[in-house]
A and B are shown apart, each in its own frame.
Chain A
Amino acid sequence: MKKKISCRVLSQKMIAKNIYDLKVESELAKDAVPGQFAGIYTGDGSMLLPRPISICGADKEQGILRFVYRIQGKGTAFFSGLKEGDRLDILGPLGNGYPIEEAVGKRAVLIGGGIGVPPLLEMAKRLSELDADKAPSAIDIVMGYRDSETFLSDEFKKYGNLIIATDDGSVGVHGTVTDALKEKAVTDGVIYACGPMPMLRGLASYAGEHEMKAYISLEEHMACGVGACLGCIVKTREVDGHSHVKNARICTDGPVFDAEELDL
């Protein structure tokens, strides 16, 4: 169930330029699944809206939520100043999450680009923990970065075969995540991805060429985060279930969509 609750900050550290790693104590961790997000409030009433931030980790047992985010504006700059013991209002868990069951017996291909990398970490972890009858046959992880600041890559290594692509060629494949897929000949399995729209468009067409399923996570400016305001929509090929006009709500029908269903 969705709730807005006050959470205690456990830790915060900078892990790359403008990229922060925030852990909070929160009962919301119990229900959260990979690919979902939360609406985080600044506590400053002049910033009315919650910031939609993807969930990078959800530890059910310990009740810890982890967010890895980039400073993007005033709100995220405020978050970066939080310290252990501070409190933070969080609305969540929001959105649908990745369909983990689609990868049973198949190759799971996790692809992240830039600040789209973090939500795939919890997905990689949970895929690697599945019982043999529900597990994928292999876990390939393809992460795209600007440069050698390959945040979270040490953690991804624990869960699958990690391939890194960088824009400047300083680490791994020189180029995009799609270039890496081509170079490593990853042509089967189920894609789970998050990243900027040009990357997702490229992946959608790559998946189409190779007849792979692709579940992609989108972002958009949001207001309510719960499906009421219709601020964050994406064009769909078929009529949507809410407004019957080919507009899915990213916050509630997504943020994860089957790429085939979207008109990108």
Chain B
Amino acid sequence: MNTKVTIAGVEFKNPVMTASGTFGSGVEYGEFVDLSRLGAVVTKGVADHPWEGNPVPRVAETASGMLNAIGLQNPGVDVFIERDLAFLEGYDTKVIVNVCGHSEGEYLNVVERLSDDDRVAMMEINVSCPNVKEGGIAFGTRPDALFNITKLLKEHSKKPLIMKLSPNVTDIKEMAKSAEAAGADAISLINTITGMKIDIYKRKFALANKTGGLSGPAIKPVAVRMVYEASHAVNIPVIGMGGIATAEDAIEFIMAGASAVAVGAVNFHNPYATVEVIEGIEKYMRDYNVSDIADIRGIV
């Protein structure tokens, strides 16, 4: 039984990763699961300097999901290298660093800092966070802007790049094609869907940022559809995510065309979810005689 997948020349022991922003850099969930079981740890977004993020409340629960507007709080790439990469070095898993920025220059600073670090397998470029005012999603909602930032970062990166796409667009296929045309090694989707919640008793927005990103099982059918569309529009690998809570959910994404999947908000519901998804995929493969995970990829 082969659960290994290869994306842009990087081999992962299984197709299960963590979704950026839901798993820190692994330290906190290392108390619950063996990080060495994971295909990859995808870190929380890292910028070229510390970001303080948004005011509270930053999170609100919604039906089968949650809204967040953290605003990419992070310690910056220097602390990340010194502390978080050093921590992850102790585990037998691949590290994908999620990179965020307000401008092309800020993205470039992080990409260049990490380009020669052997501990980093790939970088995932966050051009789709709906919760920061400048940068971020501005690069991820127009095909030409996405093309330009992808091309620029590819010219300067020695690591394979994954472009993380926003679902807050009219046609995900166009965005996927732009990333591919500019040289992206892979794409990941979906980031959160912009949403809003109002507390009718306080007559106020539930989040200080007014809007936030919706995640959790509520968004899964949207995500499966977008992964299906994107993976049929491009030839580069697709990493699928959005509401995955179980192995069955993960297999749905793989059958929709994803080479790998990421487990996100469900970590908050079940801190053991990542490893349970891996074990569930292995059981499915045994029960249904799937000898190689690639055999069911895009099968529908």
Interface residues of A (CB under 8 A from B): 1-4, 41, 45-50, 91, 220-234, 242-247, 252
Given contacts A230-B70, A231-B58, contact A49 B28 (CB under 8 A): no
Interchain CA distance A234-B55 in the complex, whole Å: 9
Of all chain B residues, which has the CB nearest A226? B28
**B59 adjacent to A226 (CB under 8 Å):** no
Whether A41 and B28, one on each chain, are in contact in the complex, defined by CB atoms closer than 8 angstroms, is no
Taking a contact as CB atoms under 8 Å apart, the answer to whether A2 and B32 are in contact is yes
Are A4 and B270 interface neighbours, CB within 8 A? yes
Expressed in whole angstroms, the minimum distance between the Cβ of A206 and any Cβ of chain B is 24
- A45: chain B residues at CB < 8 Å are 64, 217, 245, 269
Most chain B beta-carbon neighbours within 10 Å: one of A4, A49, A234: A49
What are the residues of chain A within 8 A of B56 when measuring CB–CB?
220-221, 231-234
* B64 contact from A46, A223, A226, Cβ within 8 A: A46
Given the complex, which residues of B lie within 8 Å of A244, measured CB to CB?
Answer: 50, 75-76, 79
Contact: B272 with A2, CB < 8 Å? no
Give B36-66 as 1s and 0s: 1 = Cβ < 8 Å from A's Cβ atoms: 0000000010000011110011111101111
**Bound Cα distance A1, B266 (Å):** 21
Chain A residue with Cβ nearest B24 = A228
How many Å from the CB of A97 to the closest CB on chain B?
A: 17
Shortest distance in angstroms between A47's beta carbon and chain B's nearest beta carbon? Answer: 7
Contact B58 A48 (CB under 8 A): no
Chain A, residue nearest B52 (CB): A245
List residues of chain B with CB within 8 A of the CB of A243: 50-53, 73-75
Cross-chain contact A91 with B216 (CB below 8 angstroms): no
Q: A224-B267, A230-B70 are in contact. List 13 more A-B contacts (CB 8 A).
A: A2-B31, A45-B64, A48-B265, A48-B266, A223-B59, A223-B268, A229-B59, A230-B73, A231-B56, A231-B58, A231-B68, A234-B56, A252-B28
Interface status of B91 (Cβ within 8 A of chain A)? no
The answer to whether A48 and B53 have CB atoms under 8 Å apart is no
Q: Mark B260-276, 1 if CB is under 8 A from A, else 0.
A: 00000111111110000
